[in-house]
Chain A
């Protein structure tokens, strides 16, 4: 019986956060530290004619002012792109722009001062003469022949085109279709807004020529690699990157940002520690943003409603430059999911990655998969409507049967495991679905706008194996490292290349290691986020930590266990096959023997004293594994929402939300439920409120939390969660990702509910977010009176 895995434990990391002792980068100080502030472009597209920094330089307390060319002359490199699809055209991107700015917020000059207040003052004293250039906006509009060109050598502002699937099968499906439904839709721009703004601090140790960088990253090792190989040029063995407590990421802290180059470069240039902390206003115009797809989708069905084909064309706005993983999101993380939960023989997806004068777009929670789920589950909803079928019945008709796993889709992926009918069984039960439909009839009879929306979603999480990732464009491997280090006293340090920024790894990973080694949870300390302490690791994104990082720790713990058995067998003069970890006493014992065996700590000490080890065994008890799974995992879900709409105001009230998820085996149910509920809130946020809006001059109109609608506590009802469990065969824990499904399913579930509510008015589709004003306009334009 597992003692730890599968059980809810309170998080071991919480006491420090609850007492205000979190070590976020903005809280850190170094002696003699200087403060960095960055002058940002107020124009979306403009030539920098001249910069006069003399008044800023003269201000008391200003240490230095640097311009783009200073950094280039000082050896910085361009920010690279880590996902290279075929024939990718890569825009130039300097950390500080020397010539032409391409979005509001581009860095133009860097001030270094003795205090943050002085640094801010100095920014106001810098005079920049800009020559404004015409602005190009809109994922699709930017590709038109009249659109201003952003980058030399990138015609039609199109950085890449990509397609995947079985085009002939798709053509056949449409040629033979009984019914076709089509939909044009926009998956709007979102702004991630992790609560901790990004920050970076650096210290140059001049005598050793070593640099330490503290940065708010989800993946410090890849950042060190990019700093070393591309942007800063300090050798990896002289560069330490630390991401201590990080206050949320949601994808936005994966990427290599200009400030991570600027701050260490400054620290070396002035030979003083330096720190930059983003304001929220800066975050709005510099943190990579999410979504922004313009799509046309067509679905072919037989006369009986069986789906046979799907054709999708999408224009994905990537912003002004290609952020670190930007080309991955609309391609290998989106088109690959177009099959959803369904058996669809003919799928063909085409994608254009386009450039505009906006903040770069990259992964945001769900990253490509919410976009896939949104277009598919919206068009499936229209299919059900066309067939006059109940939306769940229509989905059930098309679901991949449980006996078909592993299931090969026409879009590259092989799904690992699932029981999709079971998801909907559970959803109908938990939501009292039939009763809801009865209730709806009664409400509609009274003229109420009251909708029930469902969606069934698939996710690919824990991107792997590295060979597949490489074939899809990844410049890096997607394995993870884990080290289990048993100290001579029997205390254990677990080092993971995954990074926790809210997910609770210090707890779940300790559960995994304690389980494997038959020790107490308190005896395991999980360490993450420091390249100086941990073997190279890939970090946290794509809901990969448990499946890949957790599995690496299972492997290394297994090796520790095997070695301990050999040592114990030798010491107890027995054969290793007769030695076992005893659950009851926690000792390591010989089968059938009556004595107490050896305590865990005794064996650990024996490994280090090395006075009496088997002849072929090295001393020490420290094992590292690099786990590269055989496949992604495929979490799946069926969610339901109930909304009511006020006819007079257009205001939507979310009355009920139920989510049923299959995330495989669960390590800590408390934490998994927390991830799912939090994810749903973000998904609902996109459907109902959130929208990053640019004016026609490229100004971000939603540039603060006063203008960008963040979900708040009083926006939500109680979110009910349920689970079914089909273990993933691709990793030893049987887990699938749990971090993103809520967000993937939440958005389209709400959209389907809102459209269901508006159905009596003859409304098929409204673009998100469903603000009261937009819904009110829709009601007005569809009312008879």
Chain B
């Protein structure tokens, strides 16, 4: 009862016959494609660790079926840096010590990137509100907010 799923991930087209039509997008990305940078932190769409971009929107990939993403453009954390050169959001997280254990970081970066798009003067309050769906247990969010603000201006 396999089903064929085709999507463009980080600029590369993947066409995969999956055995499980109920497969989640996050499992497709991690297990079928082998891109394990997208993490799974919960099972109730609360933590945002699995955030990726799908057709230009930040989505929690644990709450999208792989078949729903059929034909979509998907971007994951692995596609953000260019040949090992960090993009402004990654660089700002590094400079401002916006990560500790690193587990929420890929989702945080993917969510923050969409949050600041077209909003270079984003306020602390807007950032905090905008990242409400991404949980970090290590940093207390302070340096994440700082990083996002710096990146918004740099982008």
Q: Does A248 contact B (CB under 8 A)?
A: yes
What mask results when residues 79 to 106 of chain B are scored 1 for a CB within 8 Å of chain A, else 0? 0110010100010011101011111111
Q: Does B57 contact A (CB under 8 A)?
A: no
Question: What residues of B have a CB within 8 angstroms of the CB of A15 in the complex?
Answer: 86, 94
| A671 close to B97 (CB less than 8 A) | yes
Question: What residues of B have a CB within 8 angstroms of the CB of A266 in the complex?
Answer: none
| A117 close to B42 (CB less than 8 A) | no
What mask results when residues 27 to 53 of chain B are scored 1 for a CB within 8 Å of chain A, else 0? 100100001111111111011010000
Q: How far is the CB of B33 from chain A (nearest CB, A)?
A: 12
Q: Does B144 contact A (CB under 8 A)?
A: yes
Q: Does A585 contact B (CB under 8 A)?
A: no
Question: What residues of B have a CB within 8 angstroms of the CB of A705 in the complex?
Answer: 42, 44, 46-47, 135
Bound-complex Cα distance A631 to B13 (A): 60
Q: How far is the CB of B101 from chain A (nearest CB, A)?
A: 3
Q: How far is the CB of A326 from chain B (nearest CB, A)?
A: 22
| A714 close to B129 (CB less than 8 A) | yes
Question: What residues of B have a CB within 8 angstroms of the CB of A194 in the complex?
Answer: 101, 103, 137
Q: Does A27 contact B (CB under 8 A)?
A: yes
Also in contact, A10 and B94, with CB within 8 A (given A117-B20, A247-B102, A280-B42): yes
| A20 close to B139 (CB less than 8 A) | no
| B128 close to A713 (CB less than 8 A) | yes
Q: Does A240 contact B (CB under 8 A)?
A: no
| A19 close to B142 (CB less than 8 A) | no
Q: How far is the CB of B131 from chain A (nearest CB, A)?
A: 4
Q: Does B59 contact A (CB under 8 A)?
A: no
Q: Does A593 contact B (CB under 8 A)?
A: no
Bound-complex Cα distance A407 to B43 (A): 49
Question: What residues of A have a CB within 8 angstroms of the CB of B49 in the complex?
Answer: 195
| B142 close to A22 (CB less than 8 A) | no
| B43 close to A281 (CB less than 8 A) | yes
| B103 close to A22 (CB less than 8 A) | yes
Bound-complex Cα distance A719 to B128 (A): 14
Question: What residues of B have a CB within 8 angstroms of the CB of A504 in the complex?
Answer: 100
Residue on B nearest A707 in the bound complex, by CB? B44
Name the interface size band of chain A: 35 or more
Q: Does A124 contact B (CB under 8 A)?
A: no
Q: Does A446 contact B (CB under 8 A)?
A: no
**B86, B140, B143: which contacts A19 (Cβ < 8 A)?**
B86
Bound-complex Cα distance A311 to B38 (A): 51
Interface size of B in residues (CB-CB distance below 8 Å):
59
Q: Does B132 contact A (CB under 8 A)?
A: yes
Q: Does A461 contact B (CB under 8 A)?
A: no
Q: Does A1 contact B (CB under 8 A)?
A: no
Bound-complex Cα distance A618 to B153 (A): 58
Say which one of A92-100, A352-360, A675-683, A757-765 lies at the interface with B: A675-683
Q: How far is the CB of A529 from chain B (nearest CB, A)?
A: 13
Residue on B nearest A720 in the bound complex, by CB? B142
Also in contact, A248 and B103, with CB within 8 A (given A280-B42, A674-B139, A678-B140): yes
Within 8 A of B (CB), among A671-703: 671, 673-675, 677-682
Also in contact, A704 and B43, with CB within 8 A (given A21-B37, A713-B145, A716-B128): yes
Residue on A nearest B134 in the bound complex, by CB? A713
Question: What residues of B have a CB within 8 angstroms of the CB of A245 in the complex?
Answer: 101-102
| A502 close to B100 (CB less than 8 A) | yes
Residue on A nearest B127 in the bound complex, by CB? A713
Residue on A nearest B23 in the bound complex, by CB? A117
Also in contact, A713 and B131, with CB within 8 A (given A17-B102, A502-B101, A674-B143): yes
**B41, B134, B138: which contacts A502 (Cβ < 8 A)?**
B138
Q: Does A566 contact B (CB under 8 A)?
A: no
Also in contact, A704 and B100, with CB within 8 A (given A19-B81, A719-B140): no
Question: What residues of B have a CB within 8 angstroms of the CB of A678 in the complex?
Answer: 100, 137-140
Question: What residues of A have a CB within 8 angstroms of the CB of B95 in the complex?
Answer: 10
Question: What residues of B have a CB within 8 angstroms of the CB of A196 in the complex?
Answer: 39, 41, 101, 103
| B43 close to A22 (CB less than 8 A) | no
| A18 close to B137 (CB less than 8 A) | no
Q: Does A14 contact B (CB under 8 A)?
A: yes
Also in contact, A279 and B43, with CB within 8 A (given A20-B36, A713-B134): yes
Also in contact, A280 and B41, with CB within 8 A (given A18-B90, A248-B137): yes
Q: How far is the CB of A234 from chain B (nearest CB, A)?
A: 28
| B137 close to A682 (CB less than 8 A) | yes
Question: What residues of B have a CB within 8 angstroms of the CB of A718 in the complex?
Answer: 124, 142
Residue on A nearest B103 in the bound complex, by CB? A247
| A10 close to B127 (CB less than 8 A) | no
Q: Does A115 contact B (CB under 8 A)?
A: yes
**A21, A117, A712, A719: which contacts B142 (Cβ < 8 A)?**
A719
Q: Does A608 contact B (CB under 8 A)?
A: no
Question: What residues of A have a CB within 8 angstroms of the CB of B105 in the complex?
Answer: 17-18
Question: What residues of B have a CB within 8 angstroms of the CB of A677 in the complex?
Answer: 139-140, 142-143
**B40, B46, B100, B106: which contacts A706 (Cβ < 8 A)?**
B46
Within 8 A of B (CB), among A281-301: 281
What mask results when residues 103 to 133 of chain B are scored 1 for a CB within 8 Å of chain A, else 0? 1111001000000000000001101110110
Q: Does A501 contact B (CB under 8 A)?
A: yes
Question: What residues of A have a CB within 8 angstroms of the CB of B104 in the complex?
Answer: 195
Residue on A nearest B47 in the bound complex, by CB? A705
Bound-complex Cα distance A277 to B30 (A): 13
What mask results when residues 185 to 199 of chain A are scored 1 for a CB within 8 Å of chain B, else 0? 000000001111100
Question: What residues of A have a CB within 8 angstroms of the CB of B135 in the complex?
Answer: 195, 705, 710, 712
Instruction: Give 24 A-B contacts (CB < 8 Å), ordered by A residue.
Output: A15-B86, A18-B109, A19-B37, A20-B35, A20-B36, A20-B37, A24-B103, A26-B36, A26-B40, A27-B30, A115-B20, A117-B23, A195-B137, A246-B101, A247-B102, A248-B138, A281-B43, A502-B100, A502-B102, A674-B100, A680-B140, A705-B46, A712-B135, A713-B144
Known contacts A21-B78, A116-B27, A674-B138; 20 additional CB pairs below 8 A are: A16-B102, A18-B94, A18-B102, A19-B80, A19-B90, A20-B37, A22-B102, A27-B30, A117-B23, A193-B137, A195-B101, A502-B102, A704-B44, A710-B47, A711-B140, A712-B135, A712-B141, A713-B131, A713-B134, A714-B128
Please name the 6 residue pairs, one residue from A and one from B, whose CB atoms are nearest each other, closest first: A20-B37, A17-B102, A247-B103, A681-B140, A502-B101, A20-B77
